[in-house]
Amino acid sequence: MNTIALVGNPNSGKTTLFNALTGSNQRVGNWPGVTVEKKEGKIKFKGQIYTIIDLPGTYSLGSFSEDEIVARDFILKDKPDVVINVVDATNIERNLYLTTQLLEMGVKVVVALNMIDEAKAKKIEIDINTLSQKLGAPVVPTIASKKKGIEELVSKAIELMHKDVDFKAHISYGENIEREIENIKKVLKDVKLDYPTDWVAVKALEKDQYILKELEKTHNSDISSLLKNLEEKEEDYVLEVIDKRYEFINRVTNEAVKLPNDNIETISDKIDKFVTHKFLGLPIFALIMFVVFQLTFAIGQDFLGGYVGTAIEILGSAIETLLGSLNAPDWVISFFIEGIIGGIGTVLEFVPLIVVLYMLMGILEDSGYMARAAYIMDNIMRALGLQGKTFISMIIGFGCNVPGVMSTRTLDNKKDRMIAILINPFMSCGARIPIYLVFISAFFPEHGGLVLFSLYFLGIFIALLMAKIFSKTLFKGESSYFIMELPPYRFPTAENVLRNMWDNVSEFLVRAGTTIFIVVAVLWILAMLPVGVEPYSQNSILGRIGTIIAPIFAPAGYGTWQAAVGLFSGIAAKEAVVAILGMVYAGVEEGTALVTAIQSAFTPLSAVSFMVMTLLYTPCAATLGVIKKETGSIRWTLFSALYSFTIAWLVSVLVYQVGSAIGLG
C-alpha cells in the first residue's frame, strides 16, 4: 500500500512539510461523514510511488473533536505503513504529548523535529540521539519551510516501513494501571474490535466516550460488567493515565532537551513584586488611577476639548451665515444655533473627556494591570471576609452597572452573589461622568482629576462598607475560595488602542443621543403642560412633581425643584440628567448657559453634595431591570432602589451639613 500519514499539532509546520513533500502533486477532499478537509499527495522515492496523507492538526488523539477522531481512526483502522509525526522543536514538550499517544498505539513512527533552526535561535538545545533513544523512534531534524531534512526524513520513513520492528510504548503506567490494563485485555481477548486491544484497554481506563460506546455496542456481558466495575471505582484512572504520559515526556525532555534561561525571573514577575505587594499594592493602584483621571482632564479637556469647542464655534458661525444668506426666519436660526449647536455642542465638548477616560482604562486592561488591581482588591476583600471575585464585577460596573450585575453570575454561592449585586450600583458608571463634568466645569475646573478620582474611590469605599455590613447581617456564611490568574504584561500597541476608535465613538454618540432624546422628549412634554403654562416653569407638571420631591433634598443643600427633577430623570437613565438640568435651569438643552445657571443655583459645597448623591443614589431603570432578573425578586429590586437612595441621601446630607458646620458652605 505504501502509505505515509502526516500527523502533528496545529502550527507545527505539518502542512508546510506536506507541501514540501508533495509539491503540486496533491488532491484536496473531505473525510467521509465529516467536514474535516482531507489532503492527499504522491511522492516518488527511488523509483517507488508513495501516498502521503495529511491528517488534521491535533494536540491529542482523544475523542473530543472531529479532527482527533479522524486522525486516530485513520491511523488505527486504515493502518498507514508509517506515521510521520511533525513536532515543533520550539515547543517540543507540548508536541510530545501527541507523540506519546502515537507510541501507545504501537504504530511505526518517525519524528520530524521541525523548525529546528528556530529552536536553535531560541537557544533550545535538543540532543537528537538521546531523544530518539528515549522515545524509541527515529528522529529527523527538519526545516520544512526551507525544504531541509526532507530527503532524510522520507528515507528514514521508508526504511522503517520495510523494517519488521515492534513499536511498543516505553510508558510505565504504574502497577495499579498496568494490572487494570491486563484485566481489561483478558476480557477483550475474544472480542473482535477495529482497534488494538492494548490501546483499547488504555482508552477504556481513560473513559474515552467513543471507545466506551464501541465496547457497549458489542453487547458482551463481560464487557458490560467490566465497564460497570470501572465506573464504580474511586480511583481516577483518567488522571493517572494522563499524568503518566506527562511523566514520560518529562523524563524524555529532562535528558534530551535543555531550555534556555531556566529559573530566571521575567519582567512580569519583577513588576508584580511591587504592584501586588501587600502594602505597596493599594497605594500604587490609587496612584495609577489618580494619574489616569489627571491625564483624562489634561488630554480630554485642556487639549482635545479646546479643538472640539473651536470646531463647534466655527460650525455654528458657518450655519448662521448660511441660514442668514437664505433669509431663514429667526426661529429657525434660533432653533439651529441655540437648540442644536448649543445643546449638542455641550455634549460633544464632554465626549473627548469620556473617550480619553475609556481609552486609558482600556490601556490598563490591555496591559494586564487590571487583573493585578482585582488581585489587590481581592486581598482586601478577603481580609474583610468578603468574596474577592466581587471586585471583578465592580470593575465591570465602572463601565456600566448592567453587565456589572450580570457578571456576578460567576460567583458560586447566593450570599456572594446577592452582596455583589447590591453593591454594584455604587460603582460610578460612565453615564454619570457628564453630570460630574458639568459641576466640575462650574466650580472646580482646576481640580477635575482629583474630584473625579475622589468620587470613584468614595464609590468603592461605600460598596466595601455595605458589603461588610451585608455579610454580617443579611447574608451570613462562608465565601468560596478562588485564585486569580495574572497574565503576563503586554505593551498595548497604538494600533490596538486607536483601532475602531472612531466607530466606537460614533456608536456611543448615537446610543447616548437616542437615550437622552427619549428621556428629554418625555420630560419636555411634562414641562410644557398644562396648556398655557409658562414652559419649564414651576407651574408645569414637571415643576409640580419637582416641587413635591424637592424638600427631601433641602438638608443636602439643593432643595430646588430643578435639582429634584434632574435626579428623578436619572432613575430613567443617568445620561439624561445633564440634558434635563439644562432644560429646567436654562430653558435650553445644555450649553454654557447650564454651567452659568449651575453656578448661581449651587455653591461649591452643595455641588459636591449633589455629585455624591448622583454617585450613590438609586440605579437607573436598566440596572434595576437586570437586578430583578438576576435576583428573581421584586422585593430585592425595591430594596436595592430604596437602600441606595437612603445611603446616598445620608452621605450627601453628611457632606453638606459637616461642610457647612466647618465653614465650607
Partner 1 sequence: MIKEVLKEIKDSKYISKASIARKLNTTEDVIEQIFSELIRMGYIREDNTKSCNMKCNGCSFASLCNRVPINTIMITEKGKKLLNRQSF
In angstroms, rounded to a whole number, what is the distance separating the alpha carbons of residues 418 and 470? 9
- Least Å distance, CB 88 to partner 1, is 10
Task: Tell me the per-residue interface mask from 183 to 222 with partner 1, x by CB under 8 A, - otherwise.
Answer: ----------------------------------------
Closest to 79 measured CA to CA, from 156, 3, 135, 158? 3
Q: Does 238 bind partner 1 (CB under 8 A)?
A: yes
Query: Which positions ≥6 away from 273 have C-beta within 8 Å?
Result: none
Q: Which residues of 626-664 are buried (b: 16+ CB within 10 A; e: fewer)?
A: bbbebbeeeebbeebbeebbebbbebbbebbbebeeeee
Q: Does 246 bind partner 1 (CB under 8 A)?
A: yes
Rounded to a whole number of angstroms, the minimum distance from the CB of residue 37 to partner 1 is 24
User: CA nearest 410: which of 105, 82, 630?
Assistant: 630
Q: Tell me which of 125, 182, 255, 412 binds partner 1, using CB under 8 A.
A: 412
- Positions 610 through 639 that interact with partner 1 (CB under 8 A): 622, 626
Q: Return d(Cα 257, Cα 128) in angstroms, integer.
A: 9
Interface residue with partner 1 among 111, 361, 550, 565 (CB under 8 A) is: 361
366 binds partner 1 (CB under 8 A): yes
- C-alpha span between 342 and 575 (Å, rounded): 17
Residue numbers 95-134 binding partner 1 by CB under 8 A = 97
CB proximity list for 266: less than 8 A, separation 6 or greater:
488
DSSP state string for 525-580: HHHHPSTTSPTTSTTSHHHHHHHHHGGGGGGGT---HHHHHHHHHHHH-GGGHHHH
| 263 counts as binding partner 1 under rule CB under 8 A | yes
Q: How far is the CB of 503 from partner 1 (least distance, A)?
A: 7
Q: Does 269 bind partner 1 (CB under 8 A)?
A: yes
Beta carbon of residue 236, minimum distance to partner 1 (angstroms, whole number): 7
Identity of the residue, 407 or 562, whose beta carbon is nearer to partner 1 in the bound complex:
407
Cis previous bond, 425, omega within 30: no
| Amino acid (1-letter code) at residue 528 | M
Considering the rule CB under 8 A, would residue 266 count as an interface residue with partner 1? yes
Which residue type does 618 have? T
Nearest to 218 by CA among 234, 235, 237, 194: 194
- Does position 87 interact with partner 1 (CB under 8 A)? The reply is no
Q: Which is nearer to partner 1, 238 or 311 (CB)?
A: 238
**Subset of 491-520 contacting partner 1 (CB under 8 A):** 503-505, 507-508, 511-512, 515
Among 173, 293, 297, 375, binds partner 1 (CB under 8 A): 375
Question: For residues 512 and 641, which CB has a smaller minimum distance to partner 1 in the complex?
Answer: 512
What is the signed CA dihedral for 393, 394, 399, 400, rounded to 10 degrees? 70
Q: Judged by CB, which is closer to partner 1: 169, or 354?
A: 354
- According to CB under 8 A, which one of 184, 392, 460, 655 is a site residue for partner 1? 392
Evaluate whether 389 touches 359 at the Cβ level (below 8 Å). no
Q: Residue holding cell 465565601? A: 479
CA distance 287 to 299: 18
Q: Which helix (H) or strand (E) holds 88?
A: strand 82-88
Least spacing, CB of residue 74 vs partner 1, in Å: 23
- Name the segment binding partner 1 (CB under 8 A); options: 129-137, 208-216, 232-240, 450-458: 232-240
Nearest-CA neighbor of 440 among 617, 647, 589, 302? 302
> Considering beta carbons, is residue 370 or 545 the nearer one to partner 1?
370
The nearer residue to partner 1, 222 or 247, going by C-beta atoms, is: 247
Piece of the chain touching partner 1 by CB under 8 A; list 137-145, 162-170, 326-334, 362-370 = 362-370
CA distance readout (Å), 401 to 340, 347, 393, 425? 30, 22, 9, 6
Q: Which of 295, 337, 370, 528 binds partner 1 (CB under 8 A)?
A: 370
Pairing of strands 26-30, 37-45: antiparallel
Piece of 75-83, 350-358, 452-460, 604-612 that binds partner 1 (CB under 8 A) = 350-358
Dihedral sign for Cα atoms in the order 596, 600, 603, 607: negative
Q: Which of residues 54-73 bind partner 1 (CB under 8 A)?
A: 59, 64
Give me the helices (H) in 218-266, please.
221-232, 237-256
Map the footprint of partner 1 across residues 457-486, applying CB under 8 A.
480-486
Q: Which is nearer to partner 1, 110 or 361 (CB)?
A: 361
The least CB distance from residue 554 to partner 1, in Å, is 32
- Distance CA(268)–CA(371), nearest Å, equals 13
Least distance (Å) from partner 1 to the CB of residue 326?
Answer: 35
Query: Binding to partner 1 (CB under 8 A): which residues in 566-605?
Result: 575
- Which strand (E) or helix (H) includes residue 85? strand 82-88
Q: How far is the CB of 507 from partner 1 (least distance, A)?
A: 4
Q: 15 phi and psi, to 5 degrees? A: -65, -35
Beta bridge partners of 38: 29
**Window 418 to 447, contacts with partner 1 (CB under 8 A):** 429-431
Q: Give 396 or 597: the residue with its C-beta nearer to partner 1.
A: 396
Nearer to partner 1 (CB atom), residue 456 or residue 536: 456
CB of 519 within 8 A of CB of 566?
A: no
Cβ nearer to partner 1, comparing 312 with 370: 370
Measured from the CB atom, is 229 or 266 closer to partner 1? 266
Size, binding site for partner 1 by CB under 8 A: 73
What does the block give as the cell for 13? 509546520
- 136/399 with CB nearer partner 1: 399
Pick between residue 436 and residue 649 the one whose CB is nearest to partner 1: 436
Tell me if 410 contacts partner 1 by CB under 8 A. Answer: yes
Q: Does residue 444 contact residue 361 with C-beta atoms inside 8 Å? A: no
403 forms part of the interface with partner 1 (CB under 8 A): yes
Within residues 515-544, the interface with partner 1 by CB under 8 A covers 515
**Sign of the dihedral defined by the CA atoms of residues 490, 494, 495, 499, in that order:** positive
Max Cα separation, the chain? 105
Stretch that binds partner 1, among 42-50, 125-133, 166-174, 249-257 (CB under 8 A): 249-257
Q: Please report how close the Cβ of residue 298 comes to partner 1 at its closest, in angstroms.
A: 19
Does 400 bind partner 1 (CB under 8 A)? Our answer is yes
Tell me: does residue 93 bind partner 1 (CB under 8 A): yes
Task: Assess 609 for contact with partner 1 (CB under 8 A).
Answer: no
